[in-house]
Structure 1
Amino acid sequence: MDLLKNIGEGLILFDGAMGTMLQNYGMKPGQNPEALNLEDPELIARIHKEYVEAGAQLLTSNTFGANAYKLYETGYSVKEVVEAAVTLAKKAAAGTETLVALDIGPIGKMMKPIGLLTFEEAYDLFREQVEAGAAAGADVILIETMSDLSEMRAAVLAAKEHSGLPVFATMTFSEDGNTLTGTEPEIMAISLDALGVDVLGVNCSLGPKELVPIIERILKATNTPVMVQANAGIPVTEGGIARYSVTSEDFLESAKDFAAMGVSVIGGCCGTTPAYIKDLKGAATYFRKREQQELGSYVCSAQKKVRLDGKVTLIGERINPSGNKKLKEQFMAGNPMAAVRVAFEQVQNGAEVLDVNTSLPGVDEPGYMKEIIDGMSGLVEAPLQFDSTNPDVLEMALRRYSGVAIVNSVNGEEESMTAIYPIVKKYGAFVVALCLDEQGIPDDAAGRAKVAGKLIGRAKDYGIDEGRLLIDCLVLTASAQQKAVMETLKAMRWVKEHSRSLTTLGLSNVSFGLPFRALINRTYFAMALTSGLDTVIINPGAAGIVDTLKAFNVLAGHDEGAMEYIAYNSDAAPKADGPKKAVGPRTFKDILLEGDKNGIAEATKELLINEEPLSVIDNHIVPALDEVGKLYEKKDIFLPQLIRSAETAGVAFEILRGKLTEGHKKLEPKGTIVMATVKGDIHDIGKNLAKVLLESYGYDVIDLGKDVPIEKIVETVKERKVKLVGLSALMTTTVVSMEETIAALRRENLPVKVMVGGAVLTEKYSKTIGADYYSKDARAGVLVAEEVFRQEK
Structure 2
Amino acid sequence: MTGILEEIKKRIVFFDGGMGSLLQANGLKPGELPETWNVIHPEIITKIHRDYLEAGADIITTNTFGANGLKFYPGAEFDLEDVVTGALRNAKEAVKTASYPSGKDKGYVALDIGPTGKLLKPLGDLDFEDAYELFAQAVRIGEREGADLVLVETMSDSYEAKAAVLAAKENSNLPVFVTMIFDEKGKLLTGGNVESTVALLEGLGVDALGINCGLGPVQMKGILSDIMKVASVPVIVNPNAGLPRSEGGRTVYDIDADEFAVIMKEIVDLGACVVGGCCGTTPEHIEKTAALCKDLTAKMPDKKNRTVVSSYAQAVVIGRDPVIIGERINPTGKAKFKQALRDHNLEYILREGVAQQDSGAHVLDVNVGLPEIDEPSMMVEVVKELQSIIDLPLQIDTSNIEAMEKAMRIYNGKPLINSVNGKKEVMDAIFPLVKQYGGVVIALALDEGGIPETAEGRIQVAKKIYAYAEEYGISPKDIVIDALCMTVSSDSQGALVTLETLRRIRDELGGRTTLGVSNISFGLPQREIVNATFFAMALQNGLSAAIINPNSEAMMRSYYSYRALADLDPQCSDYIAVYSGQVATLGETVKPGSGSGTGNASSGEITLAESIAKGLKDRAHAAVKELLKEKEPLTIINEEMIPALDRVGKGFEKGTVFLPQLLMSAEAAKAAFEVIKEQMAMSGTAQEKKGRIILATVKGDIHDIGKNIVKVLLENYSYDVIDLGKDVPPETVVETAVRDGVNLVGLSALMTTTVPSMEETIRQLRAEAPHVKVMVGGAVLTEEYAKTIGADQYCRDAMASVNYAEGLFAGK
**Residue 755 (structure 1) shift:** 2.5
Q: Distance in 2 between matches of 1:726 and 1:780?
A: 12
Name the counterpart of 2:25. 24
**Residue 599 (structure 1) shift:** 1.0
Name the counterpart of 1:56. 57
- Give CA deviations for 1:21-46 in whole Å, capped at 9, x if unaligned: 10111111111111111111111111
Cα separation, partners in 2 of 1:509 and 1:6, compared to 1, 3 Å: same
Name the counterpart of 1:127. 136
Name the counterpart of 2:92. 90
**Residue 451 (structure 1) shift:** 2.5
Name the counterpart of 1:790. 810
Name the counterpart of 2:595. 582
Name the counterpart of 2:497. 487
Residue identity opposite 1:140 in structure 2: L
Cα separation, partners in 2 of 1:368 and 1:291, compared to 1, 3 Å: closer
Is the contact made by 1:646 and 1:693 (CA closer than 8 Å) also made in structure 2? yes
Cα separation, partners in 2 of 1:94 and 1:739, compared to 1, 3 Å: closer
Name the counterpart of 1:382. 392
- Give CA deviations for 1:505-558 in whole Å, capped at 9, x if unaligned: 111111111110111111111222222211111111223111112222233332
Secondary structure, counterpart of 1:318 in structure 2:
coil
Identity of aligned residues (%): 46
Cα separation, partners in 2 of 1:774 and 1:443, compared to 1, 3 Å: closer
Residue identity opposite 1:14 in structure 2: F
Q: Distance in 2 between matches of 1:527 and 1:274?
A: 63
- Give CA deviations for 1:165-194 in whole Å, capped at 9, x if unaligned: 111111011111111111111222222111
Q: Distance in 1 between matches of 2:39 and 2:106?
A: 25
Is the contact made by 1:34 and 1:63 (CA closer than 8 Å) also made in structure 2? yes
- Give CA deviations for 1:283-333 in whole Å, capped at 9, x if unaligned: 122335246254421111111111101121111110012233332222111
Q: Distance in 1 between matches of 2:485 and 2:4?
A: 52
Is the contact made by 2:273 and 2:300 (CA closer than 8 Å) also made in structure 1? no
Residue identity opposite 1:82 in structure 2: V
- Give CA deviations for 1:595-648 in whole Å, capped at 9, x if unaligned: 100111111111101111111111211111111111111111122211111121
Q: Distance in 2 between matches of 1:568 and 1:155?
A: 42
- Give CA deviations for 1:365-390 in whole Å, capped at 9, x if unaligned: 11121112211224211111110001
Name the counterpart of 2:703. 683
Is the contact made by 2:340 and 2:346 (CA closer than 8 Å) also made in structure 1? yes
Name the counterpart of 1:615. 635
1:457 matched to 2:467: yes
Name the counterpart of 2:797. 777
1:117 matched to 2:126: yes
Q: Distance in 2 between matches of 1:771 and 1:469?
A: 53
**Residue 651 (structure 1) shift:** 0.6
Name the counterpart of 1:230. 239
Is the contact made by 2:195 and 2:314 (CA closer than 8 Å) also made in structure 1? no
Query: Which stretch shifts more, 345-354 or 422-431?
Result: 422-431
Cα separation, partners in 2 of 1:212 and 1:602, compared to 1, 3 Å: same
Is the contact made by 1:241 and 1:732 (CA closer than 8 Å) also made in structure 2? no
TM-score of the superposition, structure 1-length normalised? 0.96
Q: Distance in 1 between matches of 2:568 and 2:766?
A: 64
Cα separation, partners in 2 of 1:256 and 1:481, compared to 1, 3 Å: same
**Residue 573 (structure 1) shift:** 5.3
Query: Which blocks of at least 5 consecutive residues in structure 1 are unaligned?
Result: none
Is the contact made by 1:336 and 1:368 (CA closer than 8 Å) also made in structure 2? no
Query: Which stretch shifts more, 755-764 or 415-424?
Result: 755-764
Secondary structure, counterpart of 2:442 in structure 1:
strand
Residue identity opposite 2:60 in structure 1: L
Cα separation, partners in 2 of 1:737 and 1:89, compared to 1, 3 Å: closer
Q: Distance in 1 between matches of 2:92 and 2:384?
A: 41
Cα separation, partners in 2 of 1:582 and 1:776, compared to 1, 3 Å: closer
Q: Distance in 1 between matches of 2:136 and 2:202?
A: 21
Residue identity opposite 1:77 in structure 2: D
Name the counterpart of 2:102. none
Cα separation, partners in 2 of 1:316 and 1:268, compared to 1, 3 Å: same
1:540 matched to 2:562: no
Secondary structure, counterpart of 1:66 in structure 2:
coil
Secondary structure, counterpart of 1:272 in structure 2:
coil
Query: Which stretch shifts more, 574-583 or 655-664?
Result: 574-583
Q: Distance in 1 between matches of 2:176 and 2:468?
A: 28
Cα separation, partners in 2 of 1:780 and 1:427, compared to 1, 3 Å: same
Is the contact made by 1:83 and 1:132 (CA closer than 8 Å) also made in structure 2? yes
1:640 matched to 2:660: yes
Name the counterpart of 2:684. 664
Q: Distance in 2 between matches of 1:360 and 1:202?
A: 44
Residue identity opposite 1:598 in structure 2: D
Question: Which aligned pairs between 1:659-738 and structure 2 lie closer than 5 A?
Answer: 659-738=679-758
Secondary structure, counterpart of 2:326 in structure 1:
strand
Query: Which stretch shifts more, 469-478 or 489-498?
Result: 489-498
Question: Which aligned pairs between 1:504-523 and structure 2 lie closer than 5 A?
Answer: 504-523=514-533
Is the contact made by 2:388 and 2:660 (CA closer than 8 Å) also made in structure 1? yes
Is the contact made by 1:470 and 1:501 (CA closer than 8 Å) also made in structure 2? yes
Aligned-residue CA RMSD in angstroms?
2.1
1:343 matched to 2:345: no
Query: Which stretch shifts more, 321-330 or 50-59?
Result: 321-330
**Residue 227 (structure 1) shift:** 0.6
Residue identity opposite 2:624 in structure 1: T
Query: Which stretch shifts more, 466-475 or 129-138?
Result: 466-475
Q: Distance in 1 between matches of 2:317 and 2:730?
A: 53
1:278 matched to 2:287: yes
Cα separation, partners in 2 of 1:765 and 1:97, compared to 1, 3 Å: closer
Q: Distance in 1 between matches of 2:77 and 2:331?
A: 50
Query: Which stretch shifts more, 586-595 or 53-62?
Result: 586-595
TM-score of the superposition, structure 2-length normalised? 0.94
Q: Distance in 1 between matches of 2:264 and 2:785?
A: 29
Q: Distance in 1 between matches of 2:550 and 2:662?
A: 28
Secondary structure, counterpart of 2:35 in structure 1:
coil
Cα separation, partners in 2 of 1:682 and 1:542, compared to 1, 3 Å: closer
2:168 is matched with which residue: 159, 182, 189? 159
Query: Which blocks of at least 5 consecutive residues in structure 2 are unaligned?
Result: 98-104, 600-605
1:206 is matched with which residue: 200, 215, 219? 215
Secondary structure, counterpart of 2:811 in structure 1:
helix
Aligned length: 792
Is the contact made by 1:207 and 1:232 (CA closer than 8 Å) also made in structure 2? yes
Cα separation, partners in 2 of 1:156 and 1:55, compared to 1, 3 Å: same
